[in-house]
Amino acid sequence: MINQLSLRYGCNPHQKPAGVSIADGPLPITVLNGTPGYINLLDALNAWQLVRELKQVLGLPAAASFKHVSPAGAAVATSLNETLKRIYFTGKVELSPLATAYARARGADRVSSFGDWVALSDVVDVPTAQLIRREVSDGVIAPGFEPEALAILRKKQKGSYRLVQIDPDYEAPPTEKREVFGVTFEQVRNALVPTMADLENIVTDNGALPESARRDMIVALIALKYTQSNSVCYVYDGQLIGVGAGQQSRIHCTRLAGSKADAWFLRQHPRVLDLPFRDKIGRPERDNAIDQYLLDSLSSAEEAIWQQSFTTTPKRLTEAEKRDWLAQQHGVVLGSDAFFPFRDSIDRAQQSGVSYVVQPGGSVRDDIVIAACNEYDMVMVFTGTRLFHH
């Protein structure tokens, strides 16, 4: 029985020794390959809970891409059109449902997912392993690995790629503790799992809430539960497309997440799909070049380096062209881990195709926020439950 595991170091290399342990029984994780670190396991255990709950509530395979204890992306298995397959670099892989969920999670914000930790709700199959093998990533946590998938991933990073198997039946104790500056904090674990029953309180004039929007609200709420607060996210077609995490102001969360959602939509613009990349450019370099292409401007030094990614210098999208493209988008869900104190987040969200909003409610200005949603003919749900995570 293994109830503790030594780690190379803590958050930083000078923080030694470091380790993880459990008071009663064996650790619920088994390291199958590589040597996971302190931050790796923080990401792994948070991400695992997210994908487990998505699978539990929605009944679909789920995946998450975590960086610094927040999701860069998360998704359930919904079908991919040819454009998404192209921007997610799925190539000729015959996608399984789990591989589809992973492609969506990784594709939400490919720049932020560079060097991520992956969580998967189901046993890792060969198509999913084939996609993961191509990406720059730190490791995977899953309830199991098919033998051939395990063999594929064990070859990654010259044999050092981190693979962690978790007991899918493990349940944490009802009380959790943590220590900060020698002081021990204790609280009841946040065991609440958002379900469809939490989406009954529609507070806007428009009450039309299709099943696809309900699904996306569940994706938003469960993702927010494991995102560092304050947090806001945009969800579309079963996947996160923009996350604003750890901001002190909710409008800053909304702007940050909205800019990422806009970039996700703009990646599908025909001009972006046809950028004249030079031969043999790597995926990370391509992702960074697209990210820079979508910026309003670069410094002369940045511009010179950026142009090296292309055979010819591409013509940038104008602000009018961006607005026209983004204006076609609709049906997006905006989720928030706490109430919106002002209407400013609603005004920003409508610029990114938001049609549905889910939040706890409870602000003294709820009436103003509801009125803003009514102006845009949005549907808003109050759950009554805050989902802060620190």
- pLDDT digits over 187-197, tens only? 999 999 999 99
pLDDT over threshold 90, residue 3: no
Cβ–Cβ contacts within 10 Å for residue 251, how many? Answer: 19
Tell me the pTM: 0.96
Active site residue 206: no
pLDDT of residue 137: 97
In this structure, which topology does domain 4-17+26-166 adopt according to CATH? Cytidine Deaminase; domain 2 (3.40.140)
Cβ–Cβ contacts within 10 Å for residue 326, how many? Answer: 16
- The catalytic residue among 33, 40, 46, 230 is 230
pLDDT digits (tens, 9 = 90+) for 254-270: 999 999 999 999 999 99
In this structure, which topology does domain 276-316 adopt according to CATH? Helix Hairpins (1.10.287)
pLDDT digits (tens, 9 = 90+) for 105-153: 999 999 999 999 999 999 999 999 999 999 999 999 999 999 999 999 9
Average pLDDT for the chain: 96
pLDDT of residue 10: 94
- Which residue ranges make up each domain of the chain? 4-17+26-166, 190-266+326-382, 276-316
Return the CATH number of 190-266+326-382, one of 3.40.50.1100, 3.40.140.20, 3.30.70.1400, 3.40.50.10320: 3.40.140.20
- The catalytic residue among 68, 85, 252, 389 is 68
Active site residue 230: yes
- The catalytic residue among 33, 46, 67, 269 is 67
Pairing of strands 162-166, 137-142: parallel
pLDDT of residue 60: 98
pLDDT of residue 198: 98
Cβ–Cβ contacts within 10 Å for residue 38, how many? Answer: 17
| Mean pLDDT to the nearest integer, 17-45 | 94
Pick from 338, 356, 326, 341: nearest CA to 260: 326
pLDDT digits (tens, 9 = 90+) for 340-385: 999 999 999 999 999 999 999 999 999 999 999 999 999 999 999 9
Percent of the chain with pLDDT strictly greater than 70: 100
Residue type, 378: M
Percent of the chain with pLDDT strictly greater than 90: 94
pLDDT over threshold 80, residue 293: yes
The reply to whether 190-266+326-382 shares the fold of 4-17+26-166 is yes
The Cα–Cα gap between 3 and 331 comes to 47
DSSP code per residue over 332-376: EEEEESS--SSTHHHHHHGGGTEEEEEE----TTHHHHHHHHHHT
Q: What's the helix, strand, coil split of the chain in %, to 5?
A: 35, 20, 40
Active site residue 68: yes
pLDDT of residue 1: 62
Active site residue 67: yes
Q: Are 152 and 133 in contact (CB under 8 A)?
A: yes
- Per-residue pLDDT band for 297 (boundaries 50, 70, 90) equals confident
pLDDT of residue 277: 94
